[in-house]
Amino acid sequence: MRIALICAMEEELVAVTEFINLPLVNILEKASNKYFHYQSDNDTIISVVSGIGKVNAAVTTQILLDSFDVEYVINVGVAGSLTPELTFGDVVVANDLVQHDFDITAFGVPLGQIARMDVFGFAADEQLNALIMAGLAIAGQQIQMGRIVSGDQFIDDAAKAKFLNEHFGALACEMEGAAIAHVCYLNQKPFAVVRALSDMAGQSGSGAHSFEELKHMAANRAALVVKNLLENISA
């Protein structure tokens, strides 16, 4: 088993690292990021902070695939809720991902459709999602599977959040997942994206304010989901 764990921020990776029960054998630096290599006799985990945004996420994902030959890519972190039905600390597991800010609608193409791409949403791996959800429970928190949208924008506007929810049918928004999914799709690698909600994307006051206050809590919630996956995938 060779798994990549990608987080956009240091706070997210710290939470996930707590549940990596393999020895750290090497740290490799590429494109200004550090790749932490954990290894046992049969298992390998490579963890990395990609940096925020779709380009950072895409570059990091391709390096993981080219340099470490990982079998599975897991993106874990925080996101903004796009529906009042999901709140702080709830978890969204992506069934697919769309880049909401990709806009060539001037050519009659739907918003979010990547030019000359044969799919609209990039589907997460069903087997990985089944392993994520198997036996998963976090006290007091909802866990839902659904669409996540990504863009190089921090959404802090209730009207924008409502649009993303209604137009795309998305449950959460963030800034990296769909780019990771895009790269995995091109390379035919299975992936999963797990996000815990750190803010309400402007639906209940300042999303930026709640993000700064709650990102550590949300990162810990997302890390618990990854813990469940790692236990199930190794079973």
Active-site residue identified among 12, 156, 174, 176? 12
Query: In the chain, what are the domains?
Result: 2-234 (3.40.50.1580)
- State residue 146's pLDDT score: 98
Query: What distance in Å separates the CA atoms of residue 170 and residue 97, rounded to the nearest whole number?
Result: 9
Q: Mean pLDDT in runs of 10 for the chain (235 residues)? A: 95 90 96 96 95 98 97 95 90 97 97 96 96 78 93 93 97 98 98 92 61 73 84 78
- State residue 218's pLDDT score: 76
- State residue 162's pLDDT score: 94
Rg (C-alpha) for the chain, rounded Å, is: 17
- State residue 80's pLDDT score: 92
pLDDT tens sequence across 76-108? 999 999 999 998 889 999 999 999 999 999 999
CA distances from 161 to 100, 138, 173, 233 (A): 11, 26, 8, 34
CB of 7 closer than 8 Å to CB of 215: no
Active-site residue identified among 66, 199, 213, 231? 199
Active site residue 199: yes
Structure tokens at 217: 């809590």
What is the reported pTM?
0.94
CB of 54 closer than 8 Å to CB of 176: yes
- State residue 62's pLDDT score: 98
